[in-house]
Amino acid sequence: MKIRIGYEIVYDLPQPTPMIMILGAHPTRSGDLIEPDRLKTDPAVPITRYRDGFDNMCSRLVAPAGRVRLYGNGIVRDSGVPEEVPHAAPQHAVEDLPSDTLVYLLGSRYCDTDRLSEIAWSLFSTGPPGWARVQAICDYVHDHITFGYEYARPTKTAWEAFNEGNGVCRDYAHLAIAFCRCMNIPARYCTAYLGDIGVPPVDAPMDFAGSFEAYLGGRWYTFDPRNNMPRIGRILIGRGRDAADVPITHTFGPNTLVSFKVITDEIV
């Protein structure tokens, strides 16, 4: 299967403004890229690329004052197979976890585990561990949160999403991540391209998708509490402790977002 991916983000800036972006397919998908969705700008400015501490590919630039367009288009090869469902994947004892997973047991900017620990243990401690426990968390979050773009705000934490009972895909992911960490399961936030491949199309503008990965049975597996089903054609962009580590754009100065478009379409 081939999938066309891309984005276009337009800002109005009152002054020259440094920016950092995590846009485009993750380095782990580089071997699948037929045409890279490399970031370009209009007007053209120098772009520096670097790997951050989570192995994401970041782009750094100084945008001029005025209207600035960030865009990229590419084609990626995908298996076309739904995401794996590891029913038998076991949960590790904390003392047996690899050292590089331990950071994903800790609270973070949007995953306030200290506030959710007692709730998590009351909800999920009696069920079986491993994959079944993570899936139980996803089932709960999927049913507990009502989706709506009108509920989005950049400051909403997992605790607030739990109490308000609404949010967007990143809020589903943050709450599920926090619950997993409370139950001693490493979990990390992911952002990705995710089109309507193999499912009925949604009557809404395409967007990047927030989900998470949990460490079970010696590897990381994808979970998606918003959709709560294995999907086809998820193209990873970035990973981190939560959305604060995976900014699509981080703008160091005042700005106005003029437009935002994402493309994820199967090439037939």
Q: What CATH number is associated with residue 186?
A: 3.10.620.30
Helix (H/G/I), strand (E/B), else coil: 51: strand
Same-domain status, 58 and 123: no
* pLDDT of amino acid 202: 77
Same-domain status, 107 and 55: no
Report the 3 state secondary structure along 151-191: HCCCCCCHHHHHHHCEECHHHHHHHHHHHHHHCCCCEEEEE
Residue that has been written with the tokens 């076309």 in this structure: 80
Same-domain status, 107 and 222: yes
Same-domain status, 9 and 53: yes
Angle (nearest 5°) at CA 124 between 160 and 228: 70
Quick one: DSSP state of residue 64?
Answer: P
Is position 193 within any domain? yes
Is position 85 within any domain? no
Q: Per DSSP, which regions of the chain are E strands?
A: 2-13, 17-21, 33-35, 40-42, 48-51, 57-63, 66-77, 146-147, 166-167, 187-193, 209-216, 219-223, 235-240, 249-251, 256-266
Same-domain status, 127 and 54: no
The model carries a pTM of 0.95
Of the candidates 9, 50, 11, 16, the residue with the CA atom closest to the CA atom of residue 252: 16
Helix (H/G/I), strand (E/B), else coil: 48: strand
Q: Report the length, in residues, of the chain.
A: 268
Is position 88 within any domain? no
Helix (H/G/I), strand (E/B), else coil: 116: helix
Is position 21 within any domain? yes
Contacting residues for 88 by C-beta, under 8 A, at least 6 apart: 130, 131, 217
Same-domain status, 45 and 173: no
Q: How many structural domains compose the chain?
A: 2
pLDDT tens digits in sequence order for the chain, 268 residues long? 999 999 999 999 999 999 999 999 999 999 999 999 999 999 999 999 999 999 999 999 999 999 999 999 999 999 999 999 999 999 999 999 999 999 999 999 999 999 999 999 999 999 999 999 999 999 999 999 999 999 999 999 999 999 999 999 999 999 999 999 999 999 999 999 999 999 988 777 788 999 999 999 999 999 999 999 999 999 999 999 999 999 999 999 999 999 999 999 999 7
Is position 26 within any domain? yes
Is position 58 within any domain? yes
Range of the domain at 152: 94-245
Tokens at residue 169, please? Answer: 């895909």
Residue 238, Cα to own-chain centre: how many angstroms?
Answer: 7
Helix (H/G/I), strand (E/B), else coil: 237: strand
Question: Cα–Cα distance between 145 and 168 in angstroms, integer?
Answer: 9
Same-domain status, 107 and 206: yes
Is position 187 within any domain? yes
Alpha helices in the chain (DSSP H): 113-124, 131-144, 158-164, 169-182
* pLDDT of amino acid 268: 78
Same-domain status, 142 and 214: yes
| Sign of the torsion angle spanned by Cα atoms 188, 186, 165, 158 | negative
* CATH code, 6: 2.60.40.2250
Same-domain status, 130 and 166: yes
Same-domain status, 114 and 74: no
Same-domain status, 103 and 220: yes
Is position 56 within any domain? yes
Same-domain status, 40 and 54: yes
Contact between 164 and 151 (Cβ < 8 Å): yes
